[in-house]
Chain A
């Protein structure tokens, strides 16, 4: 079992990154690790790129993942996966949601959304798992669970048992949304190896 690791979450403000990183943090705490997580609030949340850094181990000092040391990147949008390339190393695993959210310059017709940008990661030997988290969320009947489906997919790369995550959802998600979130987690988890 890995004794320490760095998980980077990236996406666009409003995609539910904070909840996803929070569930993951609780699961790692439950697994007995020291955990630190760093977020940025304020100006950074208005539809711009957002990131959360999560580090776990026996004793974690720095709340920030260094460039070149993210073991897992959980990207909620394709461009926001490619943007964090300098944080990755050749053995990193990237779980990316295949959603495209057009940045302003693209929405205004001034620039183009780059095609096949994930090839830039795979060409460098990085393992990329692309999943349609929205489709999973639609299937379970609640669009707002796409973030938890992402956590499910990502959980394949952690030693913590899926039950730990399900317990965390039981404890930390409002009763009305517990079941759909657990379903989204399980469905997301299955997407990686099925």
Chain B
């Protein structure tokens, strides 16, 4: 059978293909921080022989690790989601000056439509701003092949090369052909201070090199096979890159297309020649008018964002409709249906914290990035802000300073263990140093859950699941100088409430570590706790359990007659019931029930 491990043809996601491409390109060191849609690259890459891969605590650390490996003469790779590049921008912009010795590729996985992100920034702008070449594939097969090109270009031009994907590359599966790994070079130490020490004097010299290499890259772009013209018929031509190319090919299969595999720097001659062969030139790209702006700056007339939406993802329907509005037929209109937003899982430890916070109506909850951001949703509705990784702590501190005495007991920060490691720690350092009265709640579920259970420096395991040092969060907070550090089990709702109230009321900076593992961790699934069921006779319809918003608990409304039929009083408006197959046995609802209507079968 084809497409199994012994076959040359594989069926791979873009991320799996990129991992394979990085391995074939001879990558020896890779580092990254998990982030949708980039995460699976690193997870797959560490399975190959001859590659050292790791999860870094954040993207800046990851990129710097890769820079170090490049300085040691081996091919190195850093992966991150689009907003991760903001965190890594500091080393990125200066690595553009230093270059390296081994090839260095930095992958940015953008998320148009914000399937799993807080913004939809277009990271092609980073290529322009940091003066770096950028490649962008259109599907998994191309993604694999382009990894090798990216490393070759990095070494040829002595600079990092940016590699951009989007959700519809990363999480698309397609047919990919396996290749051989290139010969790797051993690492070595070579001192090159004029190149690697970016003091102003050296940096000014390197600055001139950047202009030379970008001129050379611009020239190469004219003949790079990744940039190609696909001949067609008709007087209307398209310029596109990435997944937009797919939509153009589906919408206008006969039209001439200039497909750009390298989206920076641009092949001006090629674009000019292509434009001369058509009467109407349309640039099709998702998000910003990046290609369009630079093509127009060349003095070439084209359509772009006057037709093509600049928000969200495209598809071939949108492209066809934008270019030929009359060519698309009527669609069935969507029905008005209850929405189904994501929710914290049944048995999620975060729920216990947010339930308690939901009862503290005058407390501002400064949130962060992770599964727990879902604490924003009803019925808990217990998150009041969420900006970026680590911002919970710093935003809370800023609010408490602005509010002064009035802010006492009114501001808490909530963030996960992985987010605390990522960039919450420095904010906590600041909060202690500058005498904040905000309370920081660290939701320590022993993993990076949102992106699919990646280990972090607090998990006690490395990327391969092997034992690793686990930072002691209590001692870390104490060392930072937090005078009050408490640990709670968030499933114990009432005990947790007491601790939260005490700490939020305290004028000193305080940390509450809410410690309980994610219920979806394999070891938790294996050691499944006894599930709870509802003894319907005892249910009084008080809705205390329903207010947890647990997906395993449903509310069944009753008319007065139905209530009587079931043996309830006429006044009872309904009853709540646990779906046992969905229950993960956390027991939060049982603690809240005052009518002994919820228990395990054993207790019963």
Which residues of A are in contact with B by a Cβ distance under 8 Å? Answer: 12-13, 25-26, 29-30, 34-49, 60-64, 66-69, 79-80, 82-83, 85-86, 88, 102-109, 111, 113-114, 117, 120, 124, 143, 167-168, 171
For B37, give its contact among A41, A69, A113 (CB under 8 Å).
A41
Chain B positions 158 through 169: 1 when the CB is less than 8 Å from some CB of chain A, otherwise 0: 000000000110
**Cβ–Cβ contact B549 & A61, under 8 A:** no
Q: List 20 A-B pairs, Cβ < 8 Å.
A: A35-B174, A41-B39, A42-B115, A46-B342, A47-B343, A48-B340, A48-B342, A62-B247, A62-B316, A63-B139, A67-B317, A68-B332, A79-B338, A79-B340, A102-B554, A107-B546, A114-B337, A117-B335, A120-B335, A143-B581
Number of A-B contacts (CB under 8 A): 172
Chain B positions 7 through 18: 1 when the CB is less than 8 Å from some CB of chain A, otherwise 0: 000010000000
Chain B positions 29 through 56: 1 when the CB is less than 8 Å from some CB of chain A, otherwise 0: 0000000110110000000000000000
The interface residues of chain A lying within 8 Å CB-to-CB of B451 are 42
**Cβ–Cβ contact B379 & A83, under 8 A:** no
**Cβ–Cβ contact A26 & B3, under 8 A:** yes
Q: Is B334 an interface residue (CB 8 A)?
A: yes
Q: Which residue of B lies closest to A124 (CB)?
A: B332
For A107, give its contact among B332, B450, B554 (CB under 8 Å).
B554
**Cβ–Cβ contact A88 & B2, under 8 A:** no
**Cβ–Cβ contact A108 & B168, under 8 A:** no
Which residues of B are in contact with A by a Cβ distance under 8 Å? Answer: 1-4, 11, 36-37, 39-40, 115-116, 139, 167-168, 171-175, 243, 245-247, 249-250, 313, 315-317, 329, 331-335, 337-345, 371, 374, 377-379, 450-452, 543, 546, 549, 551, 553-555, 557, 574, 581
On whether A104 and B1 interact (CB within 8 A), knowing A34-B175, A83-B335, A83-B337, the answer reads no
**Cβ–Cβ contact A64 & B315, under 8 A:** yes
**Cβ–Cβ contact B172 & A37, under 8 A:** yes
**Cβ–Cβ contact A104 & B343, under 8 A:** yes
For A42, give its contact among B168, B332, B450 (CB under 8 Å).
B450
For A85, give its contact among B2, B332, B557 (CB under 8 Å).
B332
Q: Which 4 A-B pairs have the closest CB atoms?
A: A42-B116, A42-B36, A48-B342, A46-B342
**Cβ–Cβ contact A29 & B2, under 8 A:** yes
**Cβ–Cβ contact A29 & B175, under 8 A:** yes
The interface residues of chain A lying within 8 Å CB-to-CB of B243 are 62-63
**Cβ–Cβ contact A12 & B332, under 8 A:** no
**Cβ–Cβ contact A105 & B339, under 8 A:** yes
The interface residues of chain B lying within 8 Å CB-to-CB of A120 are 335
How distant is the Cα of A53 from the Cα of B246 in the complex, in angstroms?
15
On whether A86 and B332 interact (CB within 8 A), knowing A36-B172, A42-B116, the answer reads yes
How distant is the Cα of A48 from the Cα of B339 in the complex, in angstroms?
9
**Cβ–Cβ contact B175 & A35, under 8 A:** yes
On whether A109 and B546 interact (CB within 8 A), knowing A62-B247, A62-B315, the answer reads yes
**Cβ–Cβ contact A48 & B343, under 8 A:** yes
> Closest CB of chain A to B49's CB: distance in Å?
24
How distant is the Cα of A13 from the Cα of B247 in the complex, in angstroms?
27
How distant is the Cα of A82 from the Cα of B339 in the complex, in angstroms?
12
**Cβ–Cβ contact A66 & B317, under 8 A:** yes
How distant is the Cα of A90 from the Cα of B486 in the complex, in angstroms?
61
- Beyond A41-B452, A66-B250, A104-B341, 5 additional contacts (C-beta under 8 Å) are A41-B39, A68-B329, A83-B337, A108-B555, A171-B4
